[in-house]
A and B are shown apart, each in its own frame.
Chain A
Amino acid sequence: MNPNDSNPPAVVTENLTKVYGSGNTEVVAMKDVSLRVARGEVIALLGPSGAGKSTLLTAIGLINPPTAGRIHIGGELVMDADQAMVDLRAFRRRHLGFVFQKANLIPFLSAVENVQVALEINDATPRAAHKRAMELLEYLGVADRANYLPDALSGGQQQRVAVARALANEPSLILADEPTAALDSHRGRQVMQLFAKVAHERGAAVLVVTHDQRSLDVFDRTFEMEDGNLKSRQMPDVSIAKDSLHHN
């Protein structure tokens, strides 16, 4: 990584490995995974259950430290094996957005308050947070549901609110783990298109773990994980970038 690079990739992983357990119970969930994702790219991560997709996603999300390897986000080395190089919680707050299979909205807060929370924990004033939260809900087409509790929203609307929360602090990287698994195909596609829109219009990189093969055309690149190994699914020159990383 060149620290003087003015436009560094959104995320670079170098030889990420994750081993659970030890001895006879050792399981290698992820092996030497190297990946480079540029800003504004939408990446799909496919593979069967237990292939290591979520392990990779949570490692990049700085909530599941790898056993070995490095993670750079926005040009900054944030994780070296299991050693954090930055304050991880503060880094997540400022640079990462998360979307999950379930929307994981706080049930006793309205849609707009769920988005506001993400802003207020990043030191926004309540007034500024409300304004920005409303802008995001407007952008995602759910402003008319701003004052509804999550229970009163459909699955697709809840997921849009979750995307709004993920976008709240203008993250450089959005990580989504099976975000459409609880949605029908139409709403699932809408959410995937939303990610593409967010990536292309706002310059955030989006990494989506999915089983949904029907929306793959939305993604810029597609990778597949199997037995902890990452493989490019479409383009041979994309950055499963061991070589290029070493050259850099």
Chain B
Amino acid sequence: MALILYTLTLDKIHDIALLKLIGARNGVIIGLILQQALLMGALGYGLAWWLGQFAFPRFPRLVVIEAPDLLMLGGIVLAISVLASLLGIWKAMSVEPNKVLS
């Protein structure tokens, strides 16, 4: 996930440099990357939950996932999403606004 986010950030590095050039605060840029990371995390979480509805009944042993487990998994996904975005955020923070001119 970190690699995907990093690649997506690299794809948009010119636009990020442009945002910096026209004066966007770091918070705005970090927010954009975090938003993307959380959206990916939420999509993955939702997809896994949906697939689980079909897959778990076919398992040889009973799998019981209750609300507290879902909550904990949600927390883990949230933490992974935030951690995965750090590399992309670091890259975005290090780009210079004059990169727009290159």
Chain A interfacial positions (CB closer than 8 Å to B): 54, 58, 61, 63-64, 89-94, 96, 98, 100, 104, 106-107, 117-118, 121-122, 165, 177
**Complex interface: chain A residues within 8 A of B101 (CB):** 54, 58, 100, 177
A63–B96 CB distance below 8 A: yes
Q: A54-B101, A58-B101, A121-B28 are in contact. Are A106 and B23 (CB under 8 A)?
A: no
Report the stretch among B12-20, B39-47, B50-58, B66-74 that lies at the interface. Answer: B12-20
Question: Is there contact, CB below 8 Å, between A92 and B21?
Answer: yes
Q: How large is the interface on B (under 10, 10 to 19, 20 to 34, 35 or more residues)?
A: 10 to 19
Q: List 24 A-B contacts (CB under 8 A).
A: A54-B101, A58-B101, A61-B21, A63-B21, A63-B97, A89-B23, A91-B23, A92-B21, A92-B22, A92-B23, A92-B97, A93-B23, A98-B21, A98-B100, A100-B100, A100-B101, A104-B18, A117-B22, A121-B22, A121-B23, A121-B24, A121-B25, A122-B23, A177-B101
Interface positions of B (Cβ within 8 A of A): 14-15, 18-25, 28, 96-98, 100-101
Instruction: List the B residue with the shortest CB-CB distance to A102.
Output: B100
Q: Which residues of A contact B24 (CB under 8 A)?
A: 89, 93, 121
By a CB distance below 8 angstroms, the chain A residues around B15 are 106-107
Contacts of A100 in B (CB 8 A): 100-101
Instruction: Kindly list chain A residues whose C-beta atoms are within 8 Å of the C-beta of B18.
Output: 104, 106
A-B complex: 4 closest residue pairs judged by Cβ atoms: A93-B23, A121-B24, A92-B23, A63-B98
- A122-B22 Cα distance, complex, nearest whole Å: 10
Give the docked Cα–Cα distance between A129 and B22 (Å): 15
The distance from the CB of A173 to the nearest CB of chain B, in whole angstroms, is 13
A94 in contact with B23 given A104-B18, A177-B101 (CB within 8 Å): yes
Question: Which residues in B have their C-beta under 8 angstroms from that of A64?
Answer: 98
Q: Determine if B100 and A89 form an interchain contact, defined as CB atoms under 8 angstroms apart.
A: no
With A54-B101, A89-B25 in contact, do A121 and B96 touch (Cβ < 8 Å)?
no
**Within the assembled complex, what's the spacing in Å between the Cα atoms of A96 and B96?**
17
Give chain A residues whose Cβ lies under 8 Å from the Cβ of B14.
104
| Residues of chain B lying within 8 A (CB to CB) of residue A94 | 23
Question: How distant is the Cα of A177 from the Cα of B98 in the complex, in angstroms?
Answer: 12
B36–chain A nearest beta-carbon distance, Å: 12
Complex CA gap A59/B15 in Å reads 21
B22 touches A165 (CB 8 A): yes
A91 to B21, CA, bound (A): 11
Min distance, Cβ B31 to any Cβ of chain A, angstroms: 11
Contact in complex: B97, A121 (CB < 8 Å)? no
Q: Which residue of B lies closest to A122 (CB)?
A: B23
